[in-house]
Amino acid sequence: MILQKKLEQIGQQARIASNTLRSMSRGVKDAALIHAAQALRNNKTELQIENAKDLEAGRSKGLSNAMLDRLELTDKRITAMAEGLDVIAALPDPVGDITEQYIHPNGLRIARLRQPLGVVGIIYESRPNVTADAAALCLKSGNATILRGGSEAIHSNLAIAKIFSKAVMEAGVSEHALQIITTTDRAAVGEMLKLERYIDVIIPRGGKNLIARIYDESRIPVVAHLDGICHTYIHEDADATMAKRIAVNAKLQRPGVCNTMETLLIHEAGAPLLLPDIAKELTEGGCELRGCERTCQLINCNPATETDWTTEYLDKILSIRVVSSFEEAVCHINEYGSHHSDAIITESYNAAERFLDEVDSASVYVNASTRFTDGFEFGLGAEIGISTSKLHCRGPMALEGLTSLKYIVHGTGQIRE
Amino acid sequence: MILQKKLEQIGQQARIASNTLRSMSRGVKDAALIHAAQALRNNKTELQIENAKDLEAGRSKGLSNAMLDRLELTDKRITAMAEGLDVIAALPDPVGDITEQYIHPNGLRIARLRQPLGVVGIIYESRPNVTADAAALCLKSGNATILRGGSEAIHSNLAIAKIFSKAVMEAGVSEHALQIITTTDRAAVGEMLKLERYIDVIIPRGGKNLIARIYDESRIPVVAHLDGICHTYIHEDADATMAKRIAVNAKLQRPGVCNTMETLLIHEAGAPLLLPDIAKELTEGGCELRGCERTCQLINCNPATETDWTTEYLDKILSIRVVSSFEEAVCHINEYGSHHSDAIITESYNAAERFLDEVDSASVYVNASTRFTDGFEFGLGAEIGISTSKLHCRGPMALEGLTSLKYIVHGTGQIRE
């Protein structure tokens, strides 16, 4: 009950703050972000003292070295976090854009105006730098933000949020523009997800269990950031060198992220020649291969089960399937994939264009690695996540994804007849 | 269990149909719609026989005359329904639009391509013509459709859907492009809302109870069509004649719809002179007035309670509040309104522009009646509903609202370094 009241209060404060943020000039917002960047640099020692508490707790809890590494706020990472805010300050402000305007025959001037969503709730389990990133993107796009980070980074998150909030307040932004939930009580997430009166959208960033829970419980619209079960399909006429380079890059350049290839599809015509060569390079890179029956006849690998086609390994594991046709490849991707990022390697104009058209994914590629699906790589200048939702925003999501269009109508006394 | 299996099958069939609809050429879709329009005209007698069953059942159930009237498929209404399909056929096809395209420094050609959402589920309680309208808008935008209409119109809805489906099939569209749920069992809605694997979005059209239930139960994203608690605010410097004309139009031109004014706000400076005049015309038009304390001192009316400010009357009832300032009016609208449609009447440039900026509603007006919020009036050529959601699509929603943008990337062998 106390928790519920506390969350209600946070929601109300955010809603009030969002009403001033909506009309805040770009100058104020940018100056606030630049000031916050400087504050993070100036308070490096404080950040590292708080971060040490999380690292200490993580060690006692037996977190893996990889997780402890993700958690650590090194000098370099603090500098990068501050630079991130400077970059966001320099991006164009999406708020106030008029995307279309026309005069109705009755004289009404009708326009669509880009506006902040209002209050954005972010529930995340990621590295502590997400605290600064998310807060900055929401502020730049005129939204109030409520953050709920993972318990393993609680001290670091609170320290970053405190420094950020103080700095932007000094620059004239409301003290409730950014609020962070200070308790690690898991029930707080449940209470947050009931605040449909105050929060306009929930953006989850984290593991499958967290996201599944949010989908189940939320009464607030959620912009999905689900699995990346990404495919590379090597068509029969693919350039062999390009196919190998892209497949290896898509799997091994950074295996633990969502835009990494999890399944390789290869046309039966090219498989006998190409697959052994690609498999060799992947295996040498430390990758475990799991193949369909026909794959197992061509290379040395473990047999893949039905489950493999729907598994996001996030690791040096790859499932491989030999297909008899272009159509079989597209069907496989639309059926088993997560509609995130999928690529075809081909020299055929027709296959390329059909693939772009027929594959129902947020990002579809010809002759390039799926690893490019990313707000920075796509030139958005930033990223709050990669949406697998079809509604609102598909694919890499940055400032524009944190806004929507309202209609504004200038009249001269028109009434409806 | 049988119901669940049946719904699953409908979902699977819709998903398969959506894969062919995604790439269907405009020519085929338009020809199908024109053929369906003709089929509705040709089968007028069959439609009216089925419609008579609904009217008969409605009379036995004691439906009001107004409801029976809404249900009836007169000659004129069947003609209008057919014309609606011809109009949709003539609209531009949103699918395939490239909204932006740029070359990344690494040579990738990145574009955003407009695509159908996939499978649209529509749950409605409205007039039977919604069956044809919704099916046509979804087909034109390349989506497969699953319809679930109200039990009171079941025979009419099934007849329209059957004629529509047969006609579009004859024109080369998949038989599962349009599916309608034939049972009136309320449990079917619950099963439909679990089909998140197959349905991409649920669009509800109906009364509050229906929509509340859908929000509670749906695991599929819902595009909101909630209350229209619309305001007209008469600023202190409003032109008196214009203010009265617009206020009367916004309330009385069609009281039973969502874009009708439910609350009139008036600045204290103008109220003593203006309010009696406006009240007189509204009362003569049969409107009941419920005023705040200050309103009751100026005109003869019932006292408004707190509940009135959040009530969508959908009737000849109006709540009235005298405000002391522009800010009080904006606060009232943002606090009590439903973020649907709100208007200011003013001669002040500053007040007009501030109102457009500060009122957080899907459609915001200066010097015009809120009754214009409508897909046809806004020039969209059609309407599947009026969204009060901030995500995806705000305000009148037609073909573009039934699509989203995916990224397509043309590469020449790029890998991520």
Instruction: Give the CATH number of the domain where residue A60 resides.
Output: 3.40.605.10
Q: What is the mean pLDDT of residues A269-293?
A: 97
Residues B409, A19: C-beta atoms closer than 8 Å? no
State the DSSP H helix or E strand holding residue A70, giving kind and residue range, or none if neither: helix A65-71
* Beta-sheet pairing, A119-124 with A201-205: parallel
Q: Does residue A206 share a domain with residue A117?
A: yes
- Yes or no, beta carbons of A409 and B379 under 8 Å apart: no
Which residues on A lie below 8 Å from B103 (Cβ)?
none
Residues B6 and B111 in one domain: yes
Interface test with A, best of B348, B416, B417 (most A CBs within 10 A): B416
pLDDT in tens, B141-168: 999 999 999 999 999 999 999 999 999 9
Task: Answer yes or no: do A404 and B391 touch at CB < 8 A.
Answer: yes
**Domain-embedded: residue B379:** no
Is residue A382 one of the residues assigned to a domain? no
CB-nearest to A390 from B117, B245, B369 is B117
Instruction: Find where tokens 């608690």 sit.
Output: B229
Q: Quote the tokens at residue B148.
A: 């679930």
For residue B340, what is the domain's CATH number? 3.40.309.10
Note whether B209 and B312 are same-domain residues: no
- CA A64, CA A114: separation in Å to the nearest integer? 44
Q: Are residues B267 and B302 in the same domain?
A: yes
Between CA B346 and CA B334 the distance in angstroms is 19
The answer to whether residue A337 is domain-embedded is: yes
**pLDDT tens profile B23-36:** 999 999 999 999 99
Average pLDDT of every residue of chain A:
95
**B96 dihedral zone (left: phi>0; alpha: psi -120 to 50; beta):** left
Domain assignment of residue B58, yes or no: yes
* pLDDT tens digits for range A194-220: 999 999 999 998 888 888 889 888 989
Task: Please name the residues in contact with A227: beta carbons below 8 A apart, sequence gap of 6 or more.
Answer: A208, A258, A312, A338, A340, A388
Of the candidates A365, A378, A408, which has its C-beta nearest B364's C-beta?
A408
**Predicted confidence (pLDDT) at residue A226 exceeds the cutoff of 80:** no
- Does residue B354 sit in helix, strand or coil? helix
Question: Does A219 share its domain with A278?
Answer: no
- The percentage of residues in chain A with a pLDDT greater than 90, rounded to a whole number, is 90
Domain membership of residue A356 (yes or no) is yes
> Cβ of A19 and B389 within 8 Å?
no
Same structural domain, A277 and A293:
yes
The pLDDT tens digits for A326-359 are 999 999 999 999 999 999 999 999 999 999 999 9
CB B204 within 8 A of CB B214: yes
B83 and B213 housed in the same domain: yes
Contact A404 B394 (CB under 8 A): yes
Give one DSSP letter per residue of A251-313, joined into a string. HHSSTTSTTSEEEEEEETTTHHHHHHHHHHHHHHTT-EEEE-HHHHHHS--EEP-GGGGG---
CB atoms B415 and A245 under 8 Å: yes
- B95 and B116 share one domain: yes
Say if residue B254's pLDDT is above 90.
yes
What range defines the domain where residue B402 resides?
Answer: 2-224+393-410
Q: In A4-155, at which residue ranges do the beta strands (DSSP E only) sit? A: 98-103, 109-116, 119-124, 144-148
**pTM, 2 dp:** 0.93
Q: Is the distance from CB of A281 to CB of A251 less than 8 angstroms?
A: no
**What residues in B contact A412, CB-CB < 8 Å?**
367-368
Residue B387 domain flag: no
Torsion from C-alpha of A278, A284, A290, A293, nearest 10 degrees: 50
A395 DSSP β-pair partners: A387
Q: Is the pLDDT of residue B295 over 90?
A: yes
Is A416 close to B392, i.e. CB distance below 8 A? Answer: no
Please indicate, yes or no, whether residues B115 and B153 belong to a single structural domain of this protein. Answer: yes
CA distance B193 to chain A (A): 13
Specify the DSSP class assigned to residue B222. Answer: B
* DSSP β-ladder status, B403-414 and B109-116: antiparallel
At B286 the pLDDT is: 97
**pLDDT band of B225, cuts 50, 70, 90:** confident
The tokens describing B228, both together, are: 């229209």
Handedness of CA A13, A15, A19, A20 (dihedral sign): positive
If one counts every other C-beta atom within 10 angstroms of the C-beta of residue B314, the result is 15
Chain A hits for B365, Cβ within 8 Å: 408-409, 411
Residue A222: list chain B partners with CB under 8 A.
221
Contact between A356 and B221 using a beta-carbon 8 Å cutoff: no
Q: A378 lies in a domain?
A: no
CB contact under 8 Å between A395 and B372, yes or no, is no
| Predicted local distance difference test score (pLDDT) of residue B207 | 81
Three-state DSSP class for B169? helix
Got the DSSP string for B189-228?
A: HHHHTT-TTT-SEEEEES-HHHHHHHHHH-SS-B------
Closest CA to B96 of B33, B135, B134, B140: B140
**Residues B31 and B83 reside in one and the same domain:** yes
Comparing CB atoms, the residue among A22, A360, A391 nearest residue B360 is A22
Flag if A411 and B367 touch (Cβ within 8 Å).
yes
**What is the structure's pLDDT at A208?**
81
- CA dist., res. B289 & res. B320, Å (int): 7
Q: Which of A45-54, A113-122, A215-224, B130-139 has the lowest mean pLDDT?
A: A215-224
Q: Place A381 in a pLDDT band, splitting at 50, 70 and 90.
A: confident
In a mutational test of the A interface, the residue from B254, B333, B360 whose CB has the highest number of chain A CBs within 10 Å is: B360
A149 lies in the same domain as A49? yes
Tens of pLDDT, residues A109-131 = 999 999 999 999 999 987 899 99
- Nearest CA-CA distance, residue A411 and chain B, Å: 5
Query: Does residue B380 sit within a domain?
Result: no
Residue A212: per-residue pLDDT: 85
Q: How many residues does chain A have?
A: 417
Q: B318 and B332 share a domain?
A: yes
For residues A346 and A235, give the distance between their C-alpha atoms in angstroms, rounded to a whole number: 5
pLDDT for the residue B125: 87
- Name the amino acid, one letter, at A318: L
Which chain B residues have a beta carbon less than 8 Å from that of A23? 357-358
Q: What's the burial of B70, exposed, middle or buried (CB within 10 Å: 0-12/13-18/19+)?
A: middle
Size of the A and B interface in Cβ pairs below 8 Å: 197
Nearest residue to A415 (alpha-carbon basis) of B320, B406, B371, B62: B371
The alpha carbon of residue A61 is apart from the nearest alpha carbon of chain B, in Å, by 35
Q: What is the mean pLDDT of chain B?
A: 95
Q: Give me the percent of chain A exceeding a pLDDT of 70.
A: 100
Nearest alpha-carbon partner for B254 in B275, B237, B230: B230
Domain count, chain A: 2
Question: Which residues of chain B does A334 touch, with a Cβ-Cβ cutoff of 8 Å?
Answer: 19
Q: Is B110 close to A379, i.e. CB distance below 8 A?
A: yes
